[in-house]
């Protein structure tokens, strides 16, 4: 019998557990577009409560919650400030421009962390030649920063500066609960510095579909309007919201297991000649490592791993990403580490 592949491409590959499927099968549903689906309402209420906000709204994807947030905060001709490696800037097709007529000003952060000194001069003067600086977006944990947790004091300082200068603040918290579990700082504590916060249920939390945007009641009411025009009004969406609700109620604390597994993987990579972690520290469930050119490219390395039953992703021609999650066990992660070491040995001797 061949073992199943160890799939550590992403925490989005997680599948609903048998218990989650029971919750989904038994979900009470109704038409959410007319705002009467009881399961969606329960999910939204729980989300708002956990994030310390007045209201929350369920949407099909994290891209949609982020882009609806941009639309809520900005008008055409406005500009948002963000880290150059963030998801909103890199992985959402420039939707802020396509859908909302918004420009971006990017900052070269350190694995996602922008310093106040880099931001201070970026606010445009009130001048008809220029776009209007309107919004700052942060991402926590940081995806291309290898799951890095933004330092709390940094978040506090950047958000205070933004508020003092009349800028709105949005947090892309697709993996905020990883930051919560690893830092011991409550979700609401992180969220209180922001006007709006988006979280994803379909990553490490293990639900099949969805994301939520939380914030003040008036902004979430506006978000509801934009969700509709972006095509995100769903009817009996309690069916999928039930999986998200199950995930929030059962799968948050266990994220610590994924973090422990990522450290196991990181240790194996640290000990391997030709591989180096970037960044060196692993905060949560993601590991990014550089493949030295003496071993070939990241694509060569990925192909060799795949042949041995380990699935990963490349994030650049020289870098590979691995993500731990609830569908990989510690034993599988140990084995993946051994396979990574063996593949590196073999490629060195080509």
Ligand X SMILES: *Cc1c(COP(=O)(O)O)cnc(C)c1O
Cis peptide bond prior to 18, omega within 30° of 0: no
**Could you please report the per-residue DSSP string of 9-66?**
S-GGG----HHHHHHHHT-----GGGT--HHHHHHHHHHHHHHT-SEEEEES-HHHHH
Q: Which residues contact 82 (CB under 8 A, 6 or more apart)?
A: 88, 89, 104, 105, 106, 107, 136, 137, 138, 139
Residue 142 C-beta: closest distance to ligand X, Å: 7
Comparing CB distances to ligand X, the nearer of 100 and 143 is 143
Comparing CB distances to ligand X, the nearer of 210 and 337 is 210
Contact footprint for ligand X (CB under 6 A): 61-63, 66, 87, 139, 143, 172, 174, 200, 203, 211
**How far from the centroid of its chain's Cα atoms is residue 288's Cα?**
15
First CA to last CA distance, the chain:
29
Residue 146 C-beta: closest distance to ligand X, Å: 12
Residue 144 C-beta: closest distance to ligand X, Å: 8
Comparing CB distances to ligand X, the nearer of 139 and 195 is 139
| Cα gap 154→28, rounded to integer Å | 42
Residue 210 C-beta: closest distance to ligand X, Å: 8
Closest-CB residue for ligand X? 62
For 331, half-sphere exposure in the C-beta direction (CA atoms, 13 angstrom radius) is 3
Comparing CB distances to ligand X, the nearer of 90 and 297 is 90
Comparing CB distances to ligand X, the nearer of 100 and 272 is 100
| Cα gap 236→185, rounded to integer Å | 34
Residue 252 C-beta: closest distance to ligand X, Å: 17
Residue 14 C-beta: closest distance to ligand X, Å: 12
Residue 187 and residue 51 in contact, taking contact as beta carbons nearer than 8 Å:
yes
Residue 177 and residue 204 in contact, taking contact as beta carbons nearer than 8 Å:
yes
The neighbour count for residue 203, using CB atoms within 10 Å, is: 25
Comparing CB distances to ligand X, the nearer of 27 and 171 is 171
Residue 223 C-beta: closest distance to ligand X, Å: 16
| Cα gap 342→348, rounded to integer Å | 10
Comparing CB distances to ligand X, the nearer of 123 and 239 is 239
């Amino acid at each position: 019998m061949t073992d199943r592949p160890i799939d550590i491409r992403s925490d989005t590959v997680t599948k609903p557990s048998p218990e989650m499927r029971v919750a989904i099968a038994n979900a009470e549903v109704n038409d959410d577009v007319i705002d009467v689906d009881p399961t969606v309402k329960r999910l939204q209420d729980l989300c708002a409560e956990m994030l310390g906000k007045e209201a929350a709204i369920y949407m099909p994807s994290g891209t949609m919650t982020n882009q609806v947030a941009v639309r809520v905060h900005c008008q055409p001709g406005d500009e948002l400030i963000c880290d150059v490696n963030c998801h909103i800037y890199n992985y959402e097709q420039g939707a802020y421009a396509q859908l909302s007529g918004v420009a971006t000003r990017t900052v070269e952060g350190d694995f996602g962390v922008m310093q106040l000194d880099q931001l201070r001069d970026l606010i445009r003067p009130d001048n008809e030649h220029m776009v209007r600086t309107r919004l700052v977006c942060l991402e926590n944990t940081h995806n291309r920063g290898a799951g890095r947790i933004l330092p709390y004091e940094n978040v506090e300082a950047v958000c205070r500066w933004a508020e003092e200068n009349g800028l709105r603040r949005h947090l892309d918290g697709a993996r905020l609960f990883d930051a919560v579990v690893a830092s011991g700082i409550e979700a609401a504590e992180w969220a209180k510095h922001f006007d709006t916060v988006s979280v994803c249920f379909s990553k490490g939390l293990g639900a099949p579909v969805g994301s939520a945007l939380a914030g003040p009641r008036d902004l979430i009411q506006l978000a509801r309007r934009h969700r509709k025009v972006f095509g995100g009004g769903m009817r009996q969406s309690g069916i999928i919201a039930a999986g998200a609700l199950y995930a929030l109620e059962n799968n948050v604390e266990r994220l610590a297991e994924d973090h422990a597994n990522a450290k196991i993987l990181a240790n194996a990579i640290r000990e391997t000649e030709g591989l180096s972690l970037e960044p060196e520290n692993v905060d949560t469930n993601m590991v990014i490592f550089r493949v030295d050119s003496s071993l070939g490219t990241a694509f060569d390395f990925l192909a060799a791993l795949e042949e041995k039953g380990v699935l990963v992703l490349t994030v650049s021609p020289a870098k590979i990403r691995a993500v731990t999650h609830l569908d990989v066990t510690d034993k599988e992660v140990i084995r993946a580490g051994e396979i990574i070491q063996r593949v590196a040995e073999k490629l060195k001797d080509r």
